[in-house]
Amino acid sequence: MNAVLRFWATGFGSGFFPFASGTAGTLVAVAIYCWVPLLPLGSDGRLGWETVATLVVLTATGILASQRAEREFGEDGSPIVVDEMVGLWITVAGLVPTPSVVIGGFLLFRFFDIFKPFPARQLESLHGGTGVMLDDVVAGIYGAITLRLILHFVPGLYI
């Protein structure tokens, strides 16, 4: 397997954490979100086309990387955590990394990733990298919607 794809599929190595590798991968994604301007804001704070394009590219490369990684680690093997990383970034995309966004985004994404509401569980059964990634994309979308609703309806929380 290509070393770059393996590194990406395993969340820069975080997937090798001895327990809760999905949580470890999500925490790496949180750190990157806080310190790297990976997901640019639109000029008005909403999702700009650059952010959407970035997420599409990350998802596509995640599908490729996880597809290849399954040959080494098995079907949706625990070292494969690129799906958790992209899912978290979908949840927080377009938002400034304030404490409430970081903590809320992490908790909401992990909640939806673990409980897999419709259609996440159904998408997880798709073959290969598509199934690995798309359930977490859905969890990220649910997390994004929920986080934005909370931030909108709870005044002063966006700090």
pLDDT-based confidence at residue 43 (cuts at 50, 70, 90): very low
CA-based end-to-end distance of the chain: 43
**pLDDT exceeds 70 at position 44:** no
Q: Which two tokens stand for residue 80?
A: 């494969």
Q: Left if phi > 0, otherwise alpha if psi is -120 to 50, otherwise beta: which for 76?
A: left
d(Cα 87, Cα 93) in Å, to the nearest integer?
10
Contact 70, 76 (CB under 8 A): yes
Q: Tens digits of per-residue pLDDT, 125-148? A: 888 999 999 999 999 999 999 999
| Closest residue by Cα to residue 154 from 113, 98, 93 | 98
Q: What is the DSSP letter of 156?
A: T
Domain membership of residue 67 (yes or no) is: yes
Could you tell me if residue 60 is inside a domain?
A: yes
Domain count for the chain: 1
The pTM for the full model equals: 0.91
For residue 159, is it within any domain? Answer: no
- Where in the sequence is the domain holding 37, given as residue range(s)? 3-153
**Amino acid 13: pLDDT:** 94
